[in-house]
Amino acid sequence: MASLVGSRVERKEDKKLLTGRGKYTADVTFAHQTYAYFVRSPHARAQIKNVDISKAVKASGVVSVLTGKDIVNDKIGGLIAGWRIKSEDGSDMKVPPHPPLASESVNYVGDHVAVVIAESLDEARNAAELVKVDYKVLKAVVKTDEAMKSDNIYKDIPKNLCFDWLLGDRAKVKEAFDKADKIIKIDLINNRLIPNAMEPRAANADYNPSTEEITLYTTSQNPHLARIIISAFNGVAPENKLRVIAPDVGGGFGSKIYPYAEEVVCSWAAKKIERPVKWVADRTESFLSDCHGRDHVTHAELAVKNDGTFLGFKNETIANLGAYASVFGTVTPTYLFGPCATGVYKMPAAYSNVKAVYTNTAPVDAYRGAGRPEATYTIETLVEKAARELGMDPAEIRMKNFPTQFPFQQTLVHSVDSGDYVGGLKKAMEVADYKGFEKRKRDSASKGKLRGIGLCSYFEACGIAPSPVVMMLGCGIGLWESAEVRFNPTGNVTVFTGSHSHGQGHDTTFAQIAADQLGVPIENIEISHGDTDKGPFGYGTYGSRSLTVGGTAIVKACDKIVAKGKKVAAKMLEVSESDVEFKDGEFIVAKSNKKKTIGEIAFACYLPGTYGEVKSPLPEGEEPGLKETSFFDPVNFSFPAGSHICEVEVDPDTGKVELVKYTAVDDFGTIINPLVVEGQVHGGLAQGIGQALHENCHYDDSGQLVTASYMDYTMPRADNFPNFELGFTCTPATSNPLGTKGCGEAGAIAAPPTVMNAVMNAIGTEISMPATAEKVWKACQKMKKANSEAA
Amino acid sequence: MKTFNYHSTKDVKEATKLASSSSAFLAGGMTTIPSMKLGLASYKDIIDIKRIKKLSGIKVSAKSVTIGSTTKHVEVANSKEVKKALPSLSALAEGIGDPQVRNRGTIGGSIANNDPSADYPSACIALNATIHTNNRKISADKFFTGMFETSLKKGELIEAIEFQIPEKSCYQKYPNPASRYAIVGVYVAKHKSGVNVAVTGAKSCVYNEKNISNALSKNFSASSIDNVVVSSSGINSDIHASAEYRANMVKVFAKKAVEAC
């Protein structure tokens, strides 16, 4: 039987998803359904003096109106920060309370104040207009780099500072800088982004008063985590009385990893009114209240020798957490960011210092790449600048500082098990025809266009992650993953995974793995995820972890199935277990060529007897059934890496940047399904290029979100992209049996510096993301003026 | 959305009779419906005019192209007659919104709404259009009176728009990267009587950029625009483009339009 691992199996889930047969949370409607509409703060910062619901409760169709007072009275717990970070001085991070409905203050536009529950959505929305909230409006803190100098949002949190974190050795860095021939400095803004999953967030909670069980349908990347948080921290119901189902979910990009106020409120309210409560965000609510991404202000320095050797690196960053510390909000700008900021290079000394600040903006949390795009943007624009200032080729300076021995002990945390950075960059240069650039530049110039080329070499730490390591670093949860492989009596298979697919293609990729392991045809394998009542506990999908951690759990569970199968086959074939080999779905005795298929074994395990005589196919002491579970905790992170090269053409008259060529050569270790991986790379690139050229979340000085719709927030579209040239190298990961490394975030990590380096190469000056036409035009005008003055 | 009465008529008289101070005519609904859904507008009566046959269709004569008010963008974009007589207009229609919008949105709806960055108003100004309503004819330069404002009276219904066929013309726009509305759209039309340079997106209302049209009337070439000064005063400034940038784009896109004429 040919191996399915490595083949371009078409996505099993696409027929359903592309023909409108997917079942999303908004598609679920219960009998006696009610509809929730949230009253949200129109102010970025205000005290709540009074909430008057007297008119709203009398409005047509209204079932209930609940406020922050009800949350307090019912002792419903607040939303949590899931990762504890300590400051350089040893003090704990400072976290303000984050109630699901505010009763004392609101801290960003869109903050939840009350919920109106009615027989229809229109009635709920109309009645919400009748909820009168008396606010005392306060001056908002909006800008990341001004937060520490502004009024304290929370009285117990001076300078709005959550923590002032250090990773690395300042003294060693100073020593390195003292020895340097040259110090390259850069100031960067990593622009704030809004995730914009295609499916807005939604929740529908049903309460059964006779069993006291809540069933919550929700748009989650991580239903088990949602259940434990809503149960253990919000106190809505015990875990055994709360079933969370994340059905088909239309994209998450990090913004759906953890439960939000709405899921907590719908679950609590359903129990309170003993009717199902449904909420579906409209697009503006998504813009306002989904957790945002990025938003760093960074000053970084690189100490170099004149020959381009790197000696040391400093990274001073202010990270915006928004109004509250969200679940992964504190780890994103620290352990996911700091260690990777030294890039793919040998760096004798380095530190990352991050000050995380609160502002009156939506909470900021993990967004595709989470910390690693910010890290890569920092080091890769800095390295490019170093090449420019030293008069070196940007590829040469990178090659010079790549490690060539693996495992490679990266400066700040990671021990990178495998990689070939030199080979990757060489291949990218080949695919991109790096040598031919000068000619293409002349051709562009003859059309009046400025052409630029940009490079980026990245690595990232993903496949998160070894539980003891992350918990030592402050993580409030483990990050292993589970799988249950369940043979049905007739020989087909259901595989339960604790991870969750919301576009990644697990139904296909995971089935390929199980098919190869078990020798069962792929069409006889179903992948099941997203229901806490079905499969074992798991930690969901993010951090490019599903395949590397969750896929490995499937392999391990399959191993257990095969081990049991061998015992049963040996008994049935009347040989000793050591004589049985398993290959392509068959248990074979080499000596006699006797065999049993795995289907026959499954059948025998479920029907362990024979007509007419007392005879079991099961060895003494072996239990009936064929079902195995595995919980896999990885021993290390995985480290995808790669080199991307892009070319842009700039029209100096309009400043419009056209992306004319984009090459990505990535090392994801073993690739299970190239079709799925290419799709992941394309999507990641679209988001990374979006950050570089188009997307920008903009709050005005009063904290109003100006980019609260697609009229103002620029989502990239298909016509913004060229055909991507993809290439792959492969150094298998040594930390998991599949050799996989993860591919979901790479595009979003590598693209921003690649594109920006090309833009800056074209126009000859530094600009910030996104490189909008006006910014580029202004830079071109400035360069033109400078050049004419110089002449 | 607040509840409302829905009327569908086959007759202009009936439609105008139903109109009141709390009604709206509905053609493509590309602005009306989203505004109602977002709670930005509410009406007691919605009067659907799509079934009124005489309001839809295209007539081309030697001197003019006349388009019924409920004619969809896609019909103008695909019309062989319009492509032949006035290709700049079919090209403009082809560039409005996206296929969904072009398959529902209408010319009458577009100009009645007079969005400051809509495309069609610039065509009306550049092509000396006459707006035919149920009771009068209004010249384009008197029709567009301000941001989202026109000289239409309450209950007055646009029946058709009559465009003068120029010697040469071209519309070039710089779309807003987010909404794809025009940040700046410039419609250049060379008539026997002179040149019009209608600009949309740059100010609160479409206007004829006189400095450029005067220069082009003297010498119809891109280079004659080089020394024209387009002041940034009165030009829109927002997160997408400053007044300075928009003013410059008016020139850049006027040149592109002249070059492509």
pTM over 0.90: yes
Given CB atoms, is B40 within the 8 Å cutoff of chain A?
A: no
Are A641 and A557 within one domain?
Answer: no
Give the pLDDT score at A2: 76
Whether residue A44 lies inside any domain: the answer is yes
Token output for B1 = 């959305």
Among A193, A714, A715, which would you mutate to test the B interface (most chain B Cβ atoms within 10 Å of its Cβ)?
A714
Point out the domain boundary residue: A632, A656, A690. Answer: A632
- The CB-based long-range contact list for A6-11 (8 Å cut-off, 24+ gap) reads A6/A670, A6/A671, A6/A672, A6/A673, A6/A674, A7/A512, A7/A673, A7/A674, A8/A673, A8/A674, A8/A675, A9/A508, A9/A512, A9/A522, A9/A673, A9/A675, A10/A508, A10/A675, A11/A505, A11/A507, A11/A508, A11/A675, A11/A676
How many structural domains comprise chain A? 3
Contacts of A469 (CB under 8 A, 6+ apart): none
Point out the domain boundary residue: B48, B66, B83. Answer: B48
Distance of residue A712 Cα from the nearest chain B Cα, in angstroms: 6
In this structure, what CATH number is given to the domain that contains residue A720? 3.30.365.10
Are A404 and A521 within one domain?
Answer: no
Are A663 and A713 within one domain?
Answer: yes
Give the 3-state secondary structure of residue B91.
helix
- Its sign, for the CA torsion B103, B109, B115, B120, is positive
Cβ distance B1 to A777 less than 8 Å, yes or no, reads no
Whether residue B94 lies inside any domain: the answer is no
Token output for A363 = 């909470």
Cβ distance A125 to B39 less than 8 Å, yes or no, reads yes
Measure Cα distances from B163 to A72, A470, A650, B209, B213 in Å.
66, 69, 37, 19, 19
Give chain B positions within 8 Å (CB) of A707: 178, 239
Are A425 and A509 within one domain?
Answer: no
Token output for A520 = 């069962």
Are A501 and A598 within one domain?
Answer: yes
Among B174, B179, B186, which would you mutate to test the A interface (most chain A Cβ atoms within 10 Å of its Cβ)?
B179
Beta strands at B182-191 and B168-175: parallel, antiparallel or unpaired: antiparallel
Q: How far apart are CA B20 and CA B28, in angstroms?
A: 20
Whether residue A182 lies inside any domain: the answer is no
Whether residue B131 lies inside any domain: the answer is no
Are A484 and A459 within one domain?
Answer: no
Are A93 and A211 within one domain?
Answer: yes
Token output for A140 = 């908002």
Whether residue A6 lies inside any domain: the answer is no
Give exposure, B214-249, as e/b (b: 16+ Cβ within 10 Å).
ebbbeeeebebbeebebebeebbeeebbbbebbbbb
Q: Residues B108, B131: contact at Cβ < 8 Å?
A: no
Point out the domain boundary residue: A280, A315, A348. Answer: A280
Q: Which domain holds residue A546?
A: 480-632
Q: What letter would DSSP give residue A92?
A: B
Given CB atoms, is B91 within the 8 Å cutoff of chain A?
A: no
| ipTM for this model | 0.94
Comparing CA positions, the residue from A186, A395, A214 lying closest to residue A308 is A395
Residues of chain A contacting B, Cβ within 8 Å? 122, 125-126, 284, 653-655, 694, 698, 706-707, 710-715, 772-774, 777-778
Residue ranges in chain B modelled with pLDDT below 70: none
Given CB atoms, is B99 within the 8 Å cutoff of chain A?
A: no
Q: Residues B203, B235: contact at Cβ < 8 Å?
A: yes
Cβ distance A714 to B248 less than 8 Å, yes or no, reads no
Nearest to A654 among B39, B242, B249 (CB): B249
Residue in chain B closest to A693 (alpha carbons) equals B177
Give chain B positions within 8 Å (CB) of A713: 178
- A/B interface, count of CB pairs below 8 Å: 40
Whether residue A169 lies inside any domain: the answer is no
Residue ranges in chain A modelled with pLDDT below 70: 1
Among B239, B242, B255, B259, which would you mutate to test the A interface (most chain A Cβ atoms within 10 Å of its Cβ)?
B239
Point out the domain boundary residue: A578, A600, A632. Answer: A632
Give the pLDDT score at A789: 87
The whole-angstrom distance between residue B176's C-alpha and the CA centroid of its chain comes to 17
Cβ distance A714 to B241 less than 8 Å, yes or no, reads no
Cβ distance A654 to B177 less than 8 Å, yes or no, reads no
Q: Which domain holds residue B249?
A: 168-261
Residues 161-190 of B with CB under 8 A from A: 174, 177-179, 181
Whether residue A469 lies inside any domain: the answer is no
Distance of residue A650 Cα from the nearest chain B Cα, in angstroms: 15
Cβ distance A125 to B249 less than 8 Å, yes or no, reads no
Measure Cα distances from A396 to A319, A393, A400, A401, A459 in Å.
32, 5, 6, 9, 18
Cβ distance A654 to B242 less than 8 Å, yes or no, reads no
Are A267 and A206 within one domain?
Answer: yes
Q: How far apart are CA A23 and CA A265, in angstroms?
A: 23
Residue in chain A closest to B37 (alpha carbons) equals A122
Among B237, B249, B250, B253, which would you mutate to test the A interface (most chain A Cβ atoms within 10 Å of its Cβ)?
B249
Cβ distance B177 to A694 less than 8 Å, yes or no, reads yes
Whether residue A352 lies inside any domain: the answer is no
pLDDT tens for residues A341-378?
999 999 999 999 999 999 999 999 999 999 999 999 99
Whether residue A383 lies inside any domain: the answer is no
How many structural domains comprise chain B? 2
Among A712, A720, A769, which would you mutate to test the B interface (most chain B Cβ atoms within 10 Å of its Cβ)?
A712
Are A718 and A741 within one domain?
Answer: yes
In this structure, what CATH number is given to the domain that contains residue A37? 3.90.1170.50
- Its sign, for the CA torsion A761, A765, A769, A770, is negative
Strand order, beta sheet including A202-208: A62-67, A112-118, A34-40, A277-280, A202-208, A213-218, A242-245
Whether residue A347 lies inside any domain: the answer is no
Are A611 and A691 within one domain?
Answer: no
Give the pLDDT score at A668: 98
Give chain B positions within 8 Å (CB) of A778: 245
Give the pLDDT score at A1: 64
Whether residue B242 lies inside any domain: the answer is yes
Q: How far apart are CA B205 and CA B199, in angstroms?
A: 9
Q: How far apart are CA A689 and CA A456, in angstroms?
A: 13
Whether residue B19 lies inside any domain: the answer is yes
Nearest to A777 among B178, B239, B245 (CB): B245
Measure Cα distances from A376 to A166, A339, A342 in Å.
18, 10, 8
pLDDT tens for residues A400-422?
999 999 999 999 999 999 999 99
Token output for B15 = 């439609």
In this structure, what CATH number is given to the domain that contains residue B231? 3.30.390.50
Comparing CA positions, the residue from A250, A224, A542 lying closest to residue A367 is A542
Cβ distance B248 to A126 less than 8 Å, yes or no, reads no
Give the 3-state secondary structure of residue A358.
strand
Are A528 and A588 within one domain?
Answer: yes
Comparing CA positions, the residue from A83, A225, A264, A213 lying closest to residue A537 is A225
